[in-house]
Structure 1
Amino acid sequence: MENPGSSIISALGAGSGVDFIKLGSDISAASFAAQRGQITARQEALTAQVSAAAQLRSAITGLASALGDRVRTGDLAPRGNVANAAVATATIPAGASPRGSFSLEVTQLASAQTLVSRPLASRDALVGEGTLTLRMGTIAGASFTPDAARAAIDITVTDTDTLATLASKIASASGGEITAYVATGTSGAQLVMKGKDGAANGFILEAASINDPAANEAGDLSYFGWTAGSTNATLNQTARNATYRLDGVAATSPTNSITGLPGGFGLNLTGTNTGAATTVSFTTDSSAYTSVMQDFVAALNDIVGQINDLAAPVGGELGSDPGARELRRDLAGLASRVVMPGAATGEPRTLGDLGLSLNRDGTFKLDNARLTRSLETSPDAVAAMFTTGANGVFATVDRFARENSLTTDPASLGGSLKRYETQQAAAAERLAKIAEQQEALRERLTREFTASERRVAASQSTLTFLQQQIDIWSNRDN
C-alpha cells in the first residue's frame, strides 16, 4: 500500500528535495538495529542449543526403544519348541517371557458340530414351507442341553425357498454361529451345517411345517428337522472341547488355540498324544545376550561421543548446560545400577554383572569374561534380566532415558530443552514486538516529515510569488 506521505510529497513537488519516506524508514530501522541484532544472535544460539539437546535426548530414547524391540520381538525374545511337532506349536505374544519347560499331553482336540441333511434331487429343489428354529447348546449322545443365554433363532421358510436359499437363510440368521452350504455328491444335493469349535456350540434344528400332519419327506420342511439322536440327518462330528494336561494338570479349552499359559505363552493344538506326553520348552540363544551387550556398549559410546562434542567446555552448544552434565553423571553410574533388586546371592543384579564396564575417559567397554561367567553360572538369571517386566535391563535403560527426558526437571536434559524452547519463543515474541515498535516509529516520522515538507513547499510558493511581484515592480519602474 502506498504511504500517504509519499503521495502528498509528490503532489507538492518534493519541495525540499529530500526523500523523507526513506529517511523515516532508515531512522526507525537504525533505532532498533542493536536490539534486533542482539536478539537474532541469541536466537541462533538457542536454535543450536535446542538442536543439540534434542539430538542427545533422541539418542537415549532411541537406545531404550531399540532395546525394548529386541527384548519383545528380536533375538532376545524366547523361542518356543514342542518336541512332538505333530501335537502343537507354541506361540509367544510380544512382551511375554515364558521360561523353562512343560510337559504336554493332548487327549482330545476341539471340534465343531457338522450336520448333513438327507439328500434332495438338486440344490434348486423346493424344501417346503414353515419355520425352522435353531437352538444352540450342548449335545451328549441322544441328549441336548440348550444354552439359556442364547436365544432360539426362528427362520421363516417360504414356498419358493430351495435348498440353496435355505442354506443362505440359515447362515444369515445365525449371525455367523453356523456355516451352511449345499454339497452335491453321489446321493444328490445335501445341506451341510457346521458350527464353531467347542462343546457349547452344538445345535439342533426344529422344523414346524405348514403341512398338518407333517410328511417328514422331501418337499416338506419337517424333512430338515433334527435333534440329538435323530436319524433325519447325519451327525458327522460332535462339538467338543479340547482336553489336555499341562505339567499333569487337566484342563479344557473350547478352541484349539489356547492362551494365557504360564509366562504368557499359548498353544495351537494340532494332534493328540494320549499317554505319551511331549515337552514344551523355551530358550534363548546365549550368543544373543553377548550380541546385544556388544551393541549396547557401542550405542552408549556413540552417546558419550555426542556429549563430548556437544557439551565441550569450549565451543560446545551445551558446554555449560546442567542437563548435559547430569546425563554425563548418569552414564558414569550406569554400570553399577541395580537391574534386579530381588536377585539371589551370587546371581547377576547389575549391568556391570553383564560385563558393562567404564573406561577412565568415560567411554564404555564390554568385559566379556564377566559376561561369560554370568551366562555359565546363572543362565536363567541372565535370561530374566532381559524381559519387559518392572525390573531388568530394558526397564533400567527405559527409566534412565525417561529421567533424563523429564521436562518437569530443570536439571535434566528434557528440562534444558524445554527452557531453550521457552527462551526461543520469548525471543521470537520480542522480535515481533520490536517490529511493531519500529513500524510505529516509521509511521510517526513519516507524518512529521510530510508535515515539514508541506511547510517547505508552502514557503517556496510564497517566495516564488514575491519574486514575481518584485519582477513586475522592477519592470514598471523601467
Structure 2
Amino acid sequence: MATISSTAATPTPSTTSVTKSAASALLTSLNTGSGVDTNTLVTSLVEAQFAAKTAALTARSDKLTAQISGVSTLKSAITDFTAALETLVKGGTLQSQPTSSNNSVFTATPISGAKLTGMTASISVERLATAQAAVSTAVASKSAPLGSGVFTLTVGTKNADGTVAGTGEPIQIEIQDGTLTSVAAAINAKKAGVTASVVTDADGTAYLSLKGETGAAKAFTLEASAESSAELKTFNVGSGTGGMTITGTATNARLTVDGITVERGSNAISDLVDGVKLDLVGTSTTPVSLSTSTPTTALTNAVEDFVFTYNQVLTELQKQTDPITGDLRGDSGAQNMLRSLKGLSMRDLLPGSAPGTPKTLAEIGVLTNRDGTLSVNSDTLSKAIASNPGALEAMFSNSNDGSGVLSAMNSIKLNATSTLYGLGASTKRYTEAQGDLTDQQDKLTLQQEKMTTRLTQQFASMNARVAAYKSTQTFMENQIKAWTNGDN
C-alpha cells in the first residue's frame, strides 16, 4: 500500500521578523519604547486571526490523506485477491486429472484449459515410435584427418528399396579438411533433425553416431559426393552406399484407442484424446484404462481459501465505508465495490448450463452471514463436489467465455479500479483536491505574512513614539529637579 507523507521544512526567519526582534531587544536594553514584547504579541495576534482557517485546512488535509490511503488499500486488496485467484485457477490443480491404470505403458497429463470430468478411454500400445540410428566404423582418433567433400542429407519416408523420399530439399553439408569432430559439428549445424555425436573408446578410437527423430517420416540417408575423399565416403548412410551400419529404424507408434488402431510419429501424443497428452513408454498385451480423478481436496481448499480471503477484503471495505467512522463513507467507487462483492455469492457463474447444475456459490454451500461475510457449509460443499464435480471445476476454471469465479472477480476488479467511476476516479479526485488545498494553504501563509509585516510596522511606530514621549518626560523631570535645587 502506498504511504502518503509530507515533511515540513524548518522555516527560515524572514527579514521582518529578524528586524522586529532586534529592535525589540534594543529598546528593552535601553529601557526605552513601550517595553512590550512585540515579537510574541504579533505572533499571537496573527495566530488568533487565522486560527479557524488554519484548523479547517489542517482537518481537510488530514481527511484527504486518509481517503487517499483508504483508496490505495482497497485497490491493493481487490487486485491482490484477483491475482491470487488467477494463479490458483491457472495452476490446473482444480481440474480433473487424467490417470493411467498402467504407467509402465503410458502416462497421461492434462492439456491446459481442458475439461476432463468423466473422460474414459481404453488404450493398447502395440509398438513404440522409434528413430533411425547409424554408427560408423572405427576411426583412429576424433582428430584424425578425413579430407574434404560434400555430403547430401535427405530426410523423409524410407522406400522399399532403402532410399528415402525426402519431404523437403536435400541438404548440402560441405566439409573442408575435416575431422570426425568437425564432421559431427557440420551435420548438427544444419539442424535438420539428425543429431551427430562422437563416441570415443578408452584407447582413443572414435566412432560417428547419427540419430534422427522418431517416426516413419523421419528416416534419413547421408551420401558423400563422388569427388569427396575416400575417408568421408565411409560415413555414407543408405541402401547401396555402404559405410555406416544402421542400428535402428524409423517407425511410427501403433496403438488402439477404444477399438480404433492409429499410428503416430512420436511417443508424445496430444491429438488422440481431447485434453490429454499421452506419453508412451512401453507396449501392452491388454488394454490400459485412461480415466480421470476429481481433485476433491483441492476444490474444497480452494472454496475455503476463497471465502477466507473474501472476508478479509470485505472487512476492510466495510471499515472504510462505515457510515459514521469510515474515511470513504461517501465515496461512490468504494460503495460500488461493496455492492459488487456482496452480490457475488448469488451471481450466476455458469450461464447456459444444464438445468439442475449448481450455478452460484450459494448453491455449492457458500453462505452469506448477517454481517455480509461468507461461510462454508462443508456438508453441502462435499455433496456438490460428489454429485456435480464438473460444475465445481467449471466455476474454478480458466474460462474464456466469461463464466466462472475468476471472470466474475476480474469484472469486479475492473469496475472497482476504473478511472471513470471506480476507485481510480476517487484517487484522481482526492489528488486534485489535495492540490487545491495546497494552493489555499499557500494563500493563507501569504496573508499571514502580510499581516505580520503590517502589525510589526505598527508596533515599531508605536515604540518610536513611546520612546519620544519618554525622552520628553526625562527632559521635563530633569528641568523640574534643576528648578527645585535652585530654590534651595
Range of TM-score over shorter length: 0.7 to 0.9
- Cα distance in 2, alignment partners of residues 433 and 284 from structure 1: 63
Deviation per CA, 1:15-60, whole angstroms, max 9, x where unpaired?
A: 9999999999999998877555434422321232233344344444
Distance 1:356 1:147, change over 3 A: same
Instruction: Write the mapping of 1:64-79 to structure 2, written as runs, cut at 5 A.
Output: 64-73=82-91, 75-79=93-97
Match of 1:421 in 2: 427
Higher mean Cα deviation, 249-258 or 281-290? 249-258
Match of 1:474 in 2: none
- Cα distance in 2, alignment partners of residues 7 and 357 from structure 1: 70
Higher mean Cα deviation, 67-76 or 347-356? 67-76
Deviation per CA, 1:126-156, whole angstroms, max 9, x where unpaired?
A: 22332223333332441211232x4522212
1:118 to 131, 134, 137: 137
TM-score, L = length of structure 1? 0.75
Amino acid in the other structure paired with 1:223: T
Residue 231 (structure 1) aligned with residue 242 (structure 2) = yes
Instruction: Write the mapping of 1:7-156 to structure 2, written as runs, cut at 5 A.
Output: 35=53, 37-73=55-91, 75-99=93-117, 100-141=119-160, 142-148=162-168, 150=169, 152-156=171-175
Query: What's the CA shift for 1:350?
Result: 2.1
Aligned residues of 2:24 and 2:37 also touching (Cα < 8 A): no
Residue 430 (structure 1) aligned with residue 436 (structure 2) = yes
Query: What's the CA shift for 1:334?
Result: 3.0
Aligned residues of 2:222 and 2:236 also touching (Cα < 8 A): yes
Match of 2:476 in 1: none
SS of residue paired to 2:183 = helix
Match of 2:191 in 1: 175
- Cα distance in 1, alignment partners of residues 453 and 295 from structure 2: 83
Distance 1:291 1:163, change over 3 A: closer
Aligned residues of 1:103 and 1:279 also touching (Cα < 8 A): yes
- Cα distance in 2, alignment partners of residues 304 and 377 from structure 1: 31
Distance 1:260 1:70, change over 3 A: farther
- Cα distance in 2, alignment partners of residues 316 and 336 from structure 1: 27
SS of residue paired to 1:129 = strand
Match of 2:179 in 1: 162
- Cα distance in 2, alignment partners of residues 302 and 87 from structure 1: 48
Gaps of 5+ in 2: 1-11, 29-35, 466-488
Amino acid in the other structure paired with 2:268: S
Query: What's the CA shift for 1:232?
Result: 1.8
Residue 259 (structure 1) aligned with residue 275 (structure 2) = no
Aligned residues of 2:349 and 2:359 also touching (Cα < 8 A): yes
TM-score, L = length of structure 2? 0.74
SS of residue paired to 2:324 = coil
Q: Which structure would you say has the larger RCO, counting Cα contacts within 8 Å and 6 or more residues apart? A: 1
Aligned residues of 2:234 and 2:242 also touching (Cα < 8 A): no
Match of 1:387 in 2: 397
**Sequence identity (%):** 31
Aligned residues of 2:417 and 2:424 also touching (Cα < 8 A): no
Match of 1:288 in 2: 298
Deviation per CA, 1:215-268, whole angstroms, max 9, x where unpaired?
A: x5xxx3322233345432111122344344444455544432233665533222
1:365 to 354, 372, 375: 375
- Cα distance in 2, alignment partners of residues 248 and 35 from structure 1: 88
- Cα distance in 2, alignment partners of residues 276 and 93 from structure 1: 26
1:317 to 312, 323, 327: 327
Deviation per CA, 1:91-114, whole angstroms, max 9, x where unpaired?
A: 225544333222333333333321
Instruction: Write the mapping of 1:182-193 to structure 2, written as runs, cut at 5 A.
Output: 182-184=198-200, 188-193=205-210
- Cα distance in 2, alignment partners of residues 34 and 267 from structure 1: 78
Aligned residues of 1:36 and 1:434 also touching (Cα < 8 A): no
- Cα distance in 2, alignment partners of residues 278 and 323 from structure 1: 57
- Cα distance in 1, alignment partners of residues 214 and 366 from structure 2: 52
Amino acid in the other structure paired with 1:119: A
Match of 1:335 in 2: 345
- Cα distance in 2, alignment partners of residues 398 and 314 from structure 1: 28
SS of residue paired to 1:282 = strand
Gaps of 5+ in 1: 460-478
- Cα distance in 2, alignment partners of residues 117 and 386 from structure 1: 56
Query: What's the CA shift for 1:407?
Result: 1.4
Aligned residues of 2:104 and 2:282 also touching (Cα < 8 A): yes
Distance 1:395 1:419, change over 3 A: closer
Match of 2:413 in 1: 402
Query: What's the CA shift for 1:354?
Result: 0.3
Aligned residues of 1:28 and 1:438 also touching (Cα < 8 A): no
- Cα distance in 2, alignment partners of residues 381 and 442 from structure 1: 69
Residue 204 (structure 1) aligned with residue 221 (structure 2) = yes
SS of residue paired to 1:224 = coil
Aligned residues of 2:71 and 2:426 also touching (Cα < 8 A): no
Amino acid in the other structure paired with 2:195: T
SS of residue paired to 2:225 = strand
- Cα distance in 1, alignment partners of residues 342 and 77 from structure 2: 16
Aligned residues of 2:419 and 2:425 also touching (Cα < 8 A): no
Aligned residues of 1:27 and 1:442 also touching (Cα < 8 A): no
Amino acid in the other structure paired with 1:227: G
Aligned residues of 1:139 and 1:199 also touching (Cα < 8 A): yes
Report the aligned-residue RMSD: 4.5
Distance 1:368 1:121, change over 3 A: closer
SS of residue paired to 1:268 = strand
- How many residues are treated as equivalent by the alignment? 456
Match of 1:350 in 2: 360
Deviation per CA, 1:417-459, whole angstroms, max 9, x where unpaired?
A: 3343223322332244346546766888899999999999xx9
